[in-house]
């Protein structure tokens, strides 16, 4: 009996030794890392508003927008376009504007040279005629920017007196408000009074609440104020007071408040549809303000 007990103890001890060794071996095992997940860059190539094309973008190998096309709703084709060039730090340096006329003839109509200063952005414009072979005039515009190089004001809040023949006054400006890199406030104000006519006041005001989801358009517009304004602005050639300030912030939006002229303020909450399993929107619908914005993409797989 004692011999049996002795063999039993030896058996239990041996089993414990084997279990301990197995545990140690398991702890010392190193699981090789799996392959890195495939990353992708999502570049917005087209924007449509209520099923009408608005903007089309072309990119270089640095993922910078180098062309933006307008959709002509009359001829139903992408027609006029702008080309962009950038300085080594990635900020916009110049823009050229082209019109496509019949037989696909391209006409250079304007060139903007951009100078970034402390507190303001200066745009030196050269206008062209005769298919871009002759200069028709020059212009210079200064716009206010903040320390982060974000556009904060276009136009002037000062009252401008019109020519004596009109006998009127005008105030026109656009103002932008930010929280970090998100546009949270937009105001476009146009006041005009001309002799013997009733004063005209047109106001478009938006207040925007961002989410934490990244906006795929932001990397392109953040260093290109002309593209920023174009994406934010009206559909070509319908240059009416339609604005899309909820498309240009660093993040997608949770909601927007809209007030046009003296009408009641409208609050809108977007519904998003997503491309694949990413957080990039295929559409953004705000039924409260009758806006259905859809996006097309070029997807680039990166190592």
Look at residues 69, 41, 51 and name the one whose alpha carbon lies nearest to residue 231.
69
Beta-strand (E) ranges in the chain?
39-49, 52-59, 65-72, 77-86, 92-101, 105-117, 120-129, 134-145, 151-161, 169-179, 182-193, 200-214, 251-260, 266-268, 271-274, 281-286, 291-302
* Alpha-helix residue ranges (DSSP H) falling in the chain: 2-28, 218-221, 225-232
Looking at residue 32, what is its pLDDT? 45
**Residues in the chain, total:** 303
Looking at residue 17, what is its pLDDT? 45
Looking at residue 165, what is its pLDDT? 65
Whole-number Å distance between alpha carbons of 129 and 107: 8
Answer whether 166's CB lies under 8 Å from 191's CB: no
Beta-strand (E) ranges in 180-250?
182-193, 200-214
pLDDT digits (tens, 9 = 90+) for 70-83: 998 888 888 899 99
β-pair partners for 191: 171, 201
pLDDT digit string (tens) for the chain, length 303 residues: 444 444 444 454 444 444 454 454 444 444 444 444 558 999 999 999 999 999 999 999 999 999 999 998 888 888 899 999 999 999 999 999 999 877 678 899 999 999 999 999 999 999 999 989 999 999 999 999 999 999 999 999 998 888 776 678 899 999 999 999 999 999 999 999 888 888 888 999 999 999 999 999 999 999 999 999 999 997 655 556 789 999 999 999 999 999 999 899 999 999 999 998 888 999 999 999 999 999 999 999 887
Average pLDDT, the chain: 87
Residue 153, CA distances (Å) to 70, 87, 244, 275 in order: 24, 23, 16, 35
Which residues in 81-96 are b (16+ Cβ under 10 Å) and which e? bbbbebeeeeebbbbb
Looking at residue 215, what is its pLDDT? 98
Answer whether 180's CB lies under 8 Å from 240's CB: no
Contacts 24+ apart (CB under 8 A), 181-184: 181/148, 181/150, 181/218, 181/222, 181/249, 181/250, 182/208, 182/210, 182/249, 182/250, 182/251, 183/208, 183/245, 183/246, 183/248, 183/249, 184/208, 184/209, 184/210, 184/249
Q: Is the whole model's pTM more than 0.75, yes or no? A: yes
Neighbouring C-beta atoms of residue 35, cutoff 10 Å? 5
Q: Which residues does 14 contact at the CB level (< 8 Å), separation at least 6?
A: none
Longest dimension (CA), the chain: 127
Whole-number Å distance between alpha carbons of 36 and 246: 34
Q: Which two tokens stand for residue 276?
A: 């694949």
Answer whether 270's CB lies under 8 Å from 292's CB: no
Between the CA atoms of 85, 88, 91 and 95, what dihedral angle is there, to the nearest 10 degrees? -20
Look at residues 49, 44, 43 and name the one whose alpha carbon lies nearest to residue 235.
49
Looking at residue 289, what is its pLDDT? 96
């Amino acid at each position: 009996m004692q011999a049996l007990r002795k063999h039993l103890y030896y058996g239990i001890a041996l089993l414990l030794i084997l279990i301990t060794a197995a545990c140690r071996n398991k702890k010392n095992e190193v699981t090789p890392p799996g392959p890195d997940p495939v990353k992708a860059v999502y570049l917005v190539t087209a924007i449509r508003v209520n099923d009408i094309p608005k903007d089309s973008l072309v990119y270089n190998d640095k993922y910078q927008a180098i062309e933006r096309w307008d959709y002509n709703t009359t001829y139903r084709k992408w027609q006029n376009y702008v080309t962009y060039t950038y300085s080594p730090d990635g900020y916009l340096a110049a823009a050229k504007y082209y019109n496509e006329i019949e037989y696909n003839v391209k006409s250079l109509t304007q060139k903007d040279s951009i100078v970034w200063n402390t507190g303001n952005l200066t745009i030196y414009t050269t206008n062209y005629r005769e298919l871009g072979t002759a200069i028709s005039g020059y212009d210079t515009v200064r716009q206010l920017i903040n320390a982060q190089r974000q556009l904060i004001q276009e136009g002037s809040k000062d009252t401008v007196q019109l020519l004596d023949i009109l006998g009127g006054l005008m105030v026109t400006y656009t103002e932008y408000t930010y929280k970090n890199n998100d546009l949270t406030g937009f105001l476009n104000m146009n006041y005009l009074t001309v002799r013997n006519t009733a004063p005209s006041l047109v106001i478009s005001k938006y207040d925007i609440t961002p989410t934490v989801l990244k906006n795929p358009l932001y990397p392109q517009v953040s260093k290109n104020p002309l593209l920023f304004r174009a994406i934010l602005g009206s559909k070509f050639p319908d240059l009416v007071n339609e604005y899309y300030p909820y498309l240009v912030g660093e993040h997608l939006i949770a909601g927007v408040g809209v007030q046009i002229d003296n009408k009641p303020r409208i609050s809108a909450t977007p519904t998003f549809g997503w491309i694949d399993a990413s957080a990039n929107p295929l559409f953004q619908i705000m039924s409260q303000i009758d806006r259905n914005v859809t996006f097309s993409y070029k997807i680039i797989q990166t190592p």
